[in-house]
Structure 1
Amino acid sequence: IWLSSINQTGLDRPALKAERGGLGTSPRAPLAPREPFLPGPPRSPLVPGSPLGPLGPAVPTGPRSPLSPLQPCSPFSPCLPSAPRMPSVPVSPLLPFSPLVPPSPLSPLAPLPPGSPQYPFSPVSPFSPLSPCSPPAPGSPGSPLSPLSPLVPLSQVSPLAPFCPFSPGKP
């Protein structure tokens, strides 16, 4: 009696069998290839640069086109005959830090000249070999190791001027 009541409660209804695929449909049928949405032959793609489609006139495109908003060498358009420039000498990424190679004047690590407005804020140490106030060779008259040229007393150094301990008498 109980089994007959289960069959009558809805598990044997035709709608449930149809939803479960009981009508002979495969579970993979929804993934099968379908007919195209638009009937007829496939359309040819539009030609890029022609506003009238594949049958319209071909409009020149690119930065050299008279209709292009970009000039031939504008910031967002490359200069067309451009080849990458190769350095004449192989450049090492450690070259700016090498003490044997003088720094480039365009390098941010290069020491500033004494007349530069940023000179007091120069990150170069006065004891660096790249510093404009580096000591001369030992034994020469301007050498700090010579008894003829004592170091600058701190009382003569202005706090705003760049301190150079190897220049006697001047900051």
Structure 2
Amino acid sequence: MTKTSITGRDGYIQTKALVYAIGQIQSLPDHKQEWSDMYDMCQLLRAHLGPAELASYAVGVEWHTGNPVNLFPEDGEDLSAKDKEFKSSFERARLKEYQRRDPSTDEFLETLEAEPIPSVAPVNDLTKGAKETVSQLIEQERALRSLPTGSTKH
């Protein structure tokens, strides 16, 4: 059986659909969330995409819906060392993708590139939309670096 593309961009559409589905499931009240399906969707995406590509899809969906998408729903303790490294790379790529869409974070990102940090704090409690998501990511980075709130340079 040969694999043929129906649209010429089947993989792109399927990946985007999974990210939207994850976001939709996560936006439901807790008692209505199909957690095992959502968890498996996250696993599929993480297995088939690199951190930067996955971040691009996630930010695209967050940007359009205004809702955060958590592609690492399991507790941090349940992640392997490899998964933790992937998550850290994903969070950095996610922040850079937001910066690409909103250049007001340029100075802060220059600081990040000049002095990389070993890991990024988990982002599990985001509830209010894409703009606030990037603000929280930036604040987490600042806290990890002990930068004053109004400063982006040492």
Question: Which TM-score applies when normalising by structure 1?
Answer: 0.20
Which structure carries more helix by proportion? 2
The structure with higher relative contact order (CA 8 Å, sep 6+) is: 2
Question: Which TM-score applies when normalising by structure 2?
Answer: 0.21
Indicate the structure (1 or 2) with the bigger Cα radius of gyration.
Answer: 1
